[in-house]
């Protein structure tokens, strides 16, 4: 029997873990040619998620738990699941039931047809707030314009990866990870399946707007140098404009004897403007230097406090 690994990052999903596990077990009962393992990655939950998953693992040895020592973030939790997964294919999904488990047979079917990556794509998300929808759509439009890869709008972190793709991902050493971009960057034969997003069955989403913003900005800095280029272009532009204006000031004061503005006024305005531009440029540089600093420290990507049902 072919083994399928299901990787589920968990952060405060105590109300959903049991239901999700039951749904997955039921689905694989209808897939007699496949065996399964469910790898819950507890990413520093502060509710009863650990206890819920531990109880599930005691009842079913195919349910496994990686318990982090603290919260390392969703993308790192996914990476840990990939590291420990044994399946010929690995399916990553969220633990809030908004990634419908009923889609698993279709993901596997696409994989059986020879696709090495199968990505679930949202076709409608009425439950997402208006501003969040607009922000998400705008983000992907901007990302696709400035990045060196393209990501289709609506794709999610619900995906199936062939074993060979997972093996490639294990060789990635970067700390700031944006899997939607990485998956498109590595290539391989790809296909999509569509799904509609349901309401959360319980709990509150751990992905706040700020968390999404940070993840999105990580995507920008991981796959595009445009922010740094913009900083350079701004520097050139401001230098050129300043040179022209200083030339005008000299002509206006020395030749035309103009008294509209004093030299001190010009100096104060342009100093303030140029300082603002310099700070913007330094901010962009700091982001990239910070990423470099995080990489060269070479700290572990994650720390596992406890493993259950791993031999």
Give pLDDT, residue 65.
96
Please check whether residue 218 lies inside any domain of the structure. no
- Residues 268 and 192 reside in one and the same domain: no
pLDDT of residue 31: 94
- Tell me whether residue 188 is in a domain: yes
Same-domain status, 103 and 240: no
pLDDT of residue 8: 95
Residues 30 and 139 in one domain: yes
Residue 221 in domain: no
**Percent of all residues in the chain with a pLDDT value above 70, rounded to a whole number:** 63
pTM of the model: 0.70
pLDDT of residue 73: 86
Question: What range defines the domain where residue 9 resides?
Answer: 2-211+300-308
230 Cβ contact partners less than 8 Å away, ≥ 6 residues apart: 284
Q: What distances in angstroms separate CA 75 from CA 26, 56, 78, 215, 244, one per listed residue? A: 27, 24, 5, 9, 48
22/272: higher pLDDT: 22
Q: Output the pLDDT for position 150.
A: 65
Residue 217 lies in a domain: no
Whether residues 183 and 246 share a domain: the answer is no
pLDDT of 25 reads 95
Res. 289: pLDDT tops 90? no
At residue 117, does pLDDT exceed 90? yes
290: confidence class by pLDDT, cuts 50, 70, 90: low
pLDDT over 90 percentage in the chain: 41
Q: What is the mean pLDDT of the chain?
A: 79
The pLDDT value given to residue 149: 62
| Whether residue 37 sits in one domain with residue 178 | yes
| 220 assigned to some structural domain | no
pLDDT over 70 (residue 266): no
Shared domain check, 118 and 19: yes
């Amino acid at each position: 029997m072919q083994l399928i690994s299901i990787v589920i990052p968990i952060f405060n999903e105590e109300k959903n873990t049991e239901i999700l596990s039951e749904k997955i077990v039921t689905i694989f009962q209808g897939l007699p040619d496949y065996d399964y393992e469910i790898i819950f990655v507890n990413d520093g939950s502060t509710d009863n998620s650990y206890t819920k998953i531990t109880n599930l693992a005691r009842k079913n040895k195919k349910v496994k738990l990686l318990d982090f020592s603290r919260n390392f973030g969703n993308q790192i939790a996914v990476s840990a699941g990939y590291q420990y997964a044994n399946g010929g294919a690995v399916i990553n999904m969220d633990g809030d039931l908004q990634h419908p488990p009923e889609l698993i047979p279709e993901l596997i079917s696409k994989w059986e047809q020879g696709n090495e990556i199968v990505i679930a794509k949202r076709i409608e998300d009425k439950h997402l707030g208006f501003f969040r929808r607009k922000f998400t759509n705008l983000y992907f439009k901007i990302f696709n314009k400035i990045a060196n890869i393209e990501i289709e709008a609506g794709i999610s972190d619900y995906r199936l990866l062939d074993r060979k793709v997972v093996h490639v991902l294990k060789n990635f050493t970067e700390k700031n990870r944006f899997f939607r971009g990485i998956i498109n960057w590595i290539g391989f034969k790809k296909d999509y399946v569509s799904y509609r997003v349901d309401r959360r069955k319980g709990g509150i989403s751990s992905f706040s707007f700020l968390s999404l913003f940070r993840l999105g900005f990580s995507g920008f800095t991981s796959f595009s140098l445009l922010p740094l280029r913009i900083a350079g272009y701004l520097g050139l532009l401001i230098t050129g404009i300043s040179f022209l204006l200083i030339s005008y000031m000299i002509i206006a004061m020395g030749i035309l004897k103009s008294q509209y503005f004093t030299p001190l006024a010009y100096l104060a305005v342009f100093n303030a403007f140029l300082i603002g531009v310099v700070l913007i440029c330094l901010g962009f540089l700091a982001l990239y230097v910070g990423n470099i600093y995080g990489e060269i420290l070479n700290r572990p990507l994650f720390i596992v406090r406890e493993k259950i049902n791993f031999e």
